[in-house]
Copies of this chain bind each other. A is one copy, B any other.
Amino acid sequence: MEKKLTLETLARMVEGELSGDPSLEISGFGPLDSAGPGDISFLVDVKYYDQAVESGAAAILVGKKIAVEVDNFVRVDDAYLASAIIQNHFLAHPFDAGGIHDSAVIGQNCRFGKEITIGAQVVIGDRVTLGEQVEICAGVVIGPDVTIGDGSTIKSNVTIERGCELGERVVIHPGCVIGSDGYGYATDKQGFHVKRPQLGTVKIGDDVEIGANSCVDRATFGVTWIKSGTKIDNLVQVGHNVVVGENSLLVAQVGIAGSTTLGRNVVMGGQAGAVGHISVGDGTMVAGMSAIHGNQPAGARLAGIPAIEGRQWFKSATAFSKLPELLKDVRKIKKVLASREDQDESPNKEG
């Protein structure tokens, strides 16, 4: 109840332009097909126009260039963004500190915030530091000397190895492994691989989110570093000594090989990869299932294996299906030219 907002306040929150009754009270958020009388909803695409008109929502957030005929709406630049801001407002709730579950096993000399939740079957090593309002879910294993900042959540069955340092408001989804050994070997003359000790750690900035079953390896020396605001999807591999800049997006099943540095606001599509020891500039976008084989300037748009400029790749990929025909054409042309050469030459010889 205490979360009620007038449509006017809400429009200000999302920097939108209000059309309708400014004093209308909004108490929740829902999608067009299920929003109720006190809810605000959102319309991002004209194809949902009919749903919008028929929706039970009290008001609607409407993206640019979409006409609507409803009594109350707020026009915004990005209806997804406005929705997210408003939803997060309505969903926010005070931290419910559950304390430490009886079945959890806690190491020595740990320092925990006053308000924390540590779930069942959790194992926490020695000298671990947890900030305020940290939640460690069931089945998590945290090694010694790990630090986790205020407001962070570690979901179930995650493993965080010794010495890793996580910032504030970090979310690590189930099954992730943070800080396991980097993949580093030196091969002797018999072909036997001698392990190079992995002595560094992992550093994760504020507001980072890492998807289920993803892996971030510890550095050989120094740190593997995921900077603040970066969001990583499921089943992503981040190799040792990688640096991922602020607010980057690594979509599912991406792989970044060791010692590569990504700039800020880099986007890598699903199943894309980058080789090791390269540098990718700020704001670069890489299409899914592409492979970056070399350094990239800021703002590049890349696709392909190896990745080239995106539009160029798209043209080549389109031409790819014509390759067999092209091959035939060229064979035919060669034949024609050869036969004409004969014709050209015969008069010469005779001449």
Which of A3-11, A65-73, A175-183, A294-302 is the interface stretch? Answer: A175-183
Contact partners of A78 in chain B: CB under 8 A = 186
**A98 interfacial by beta-carbon distance below 8 Å:** no
**Is A186 a contact of B105 with CB atoms below 8 Å?**
no
Choose one: B137, B175, B215; the contact of A211 (CB below 8 Å): B215
Given A139-B141, A273-B271, A336-B337, are A177 and B174 also a contact pair (CB < 8 Å)?
A: yes
**A188 interfacial by beta-carbon distance below 8 Å:** yes
Given A221-B31, A251-B183, are A87 and B157 also a contact pair (CB < 8 Å)?
A: no
Contact partners of A265 in chain B: CB under 8 A = 191
**A80 interfacial by beta-carbon distance below 8 Å:** yes
Given A323-B316, A327-B319, are A191 and B289 also a contact pair (CB < 8 Å)?
A: no
- Residue-wise, chain A 237-264 has the 8 Å CB interface mask toward B (1 for contact) of 1010000001101011101010000001
Size class of the A contact interface (CB-based, 8 Å): 35 or more
Q: Roughly how many angstroms separate A188 CA and B246 CA in the complex, as a whole number?
A: 14
**Is B326 a contact of A231 with CB atoms below 8 Å?**
no
**A93 interfacial by beta-carbon distance below 8 Å:** no
Q: Which residue of B lies closest to A293 (CB)?
A: B288
Given A212-B177, A212-B180, A231-B185, are A197 and B81 also a contact pair (CB < 8 Å)?
A: no
- Residue-wise, chain A 199-232 has the 8 Å CB interface mask toward B (1 for contact) of 0000000010101110101000110000001010
Q: How near does chain B come to A88, taking the closest CB pair, in angstroms?
A: 7
**A1 interfacial by beta-carbon distance below 8 Å:** no
**Is B333 a contact of A193 with CB atoms below 8 Å?**
no
Which of A17-25, A117-125, A128-136 is the interface stretch? Answer: A117-125
Contact partners of A217 in chain B: CB under 8 A = 212, 234
Q: Roughly how many angstroms separate A40 CA and B187 CA in the complex, as a whole number?
A: 20
**Is B88 a contact of A105 with CB atoms below 8 Å?**
no
The 3 closest A-B pairs by CB, nearest first: A81-B186, A159-B174, A177-B212
What are 22 A-B interface contacts by the 8 Å CB criterion?
Answer: A81-B186, A123-B138, A139-B141, A139-B157, A141-B156, A157-B157, A173-B180, A175-B177, A180-B211, A183-B211, A191-B247, A192-B247, A195-B209, A215-B234, A252-B257, A289-B291, A305-B317, A308-B321, A319-B324, A320-B323, A326-B330, A333-B333
Q: Which residues of A contact B (CB under 8 A)?
A: 31, 34, 78, 80-85, 87-88, 91, 101, 103, 105, 119-121, 123, 137-139, 141, 143, 155-157, 159, 161, 171, 173-177, 180-181, 183, 185-188, 191-197, 207, 209, 211-213, 215, 217, 221-222, 229, 231, 233-235, 237, 239, 246-247, 249, 251-253, 255, 257, 264-265, 270-271, 273, 275, 288-289, 291, 304-306, 308, 312-313, 315-324, 326-327, 329-330, 333-334, 336-337, 340, 344
